[in-house]
Structure 1
């Protein structure tokens, strides 16, 4: 764990979004970072697809960053993802 310095305006954006979505400021920041990371790594995916993959990854035990980087056909994968349709 570490400390990330952000602007006051971004902190306020995190607070508002976190409150609206029932997340802590830290949980909201982590969510945005995961979405942004996947969006940069996989520009062919839209927001809906990224969110679906995050849910699948959570159900499978968390996002596999190495798998997400090396996934075939540019699709990120979950750690120990169950077999089946993505």
Structure 2
């Protein structure tokens, strides 16, 4: 585990999104990082296609409360 410094504005957006999605701020940031990494690896897939592929592969959602 490490510490990642992010912009205050991005941290605030993660805080807002985490409240809506019932995730911790860290879990929200981790979710965004994972989706971003997968989007870069598969640029032709939509967000919904990436999430569906992760579910089909049996990967647990990153939404677990931390």
Bin the TM-score by the shorter chain: 0.7 to 0.9
- Give the TM-score normalised by the residue count of structure 1: 0.64
- Aligned-partner Cα distance in 2 for 1:49–1:4: 28
Aligned residue number for residue 45 of structure 1: 45
User: How far off is 1:14 after superposition?
Assistant: 0.3
CA deviations on 1:28-63 (whole Å, 9 max, x unpaired) are 001000110010010011111111122234x3568x
**Higher Cα Rg: structure 1 or 2?**
1
SS across alignment from 2:3:
coil
Aligned partner of residue 4 in structure 1, secondary structure: coil
The 3 A distance-change label for structure 1 pair 60 and 20 is closer
Q: Which runs of 5+ in 1 are unaligned?
A: 63-86
Q: Does 1:33 align with 2:33?
A: yes
Residues paired across the two proteins, number:
61
RMSD of aligned C-alpha atoms? Answer: 1.7
Looking at both structures, which has the greater relative contact order when contacts are Cα pairs under 8 Å and sequence separation is at least 6?
2
Q: Which residue of 1 aligns with 2:64?
A: none
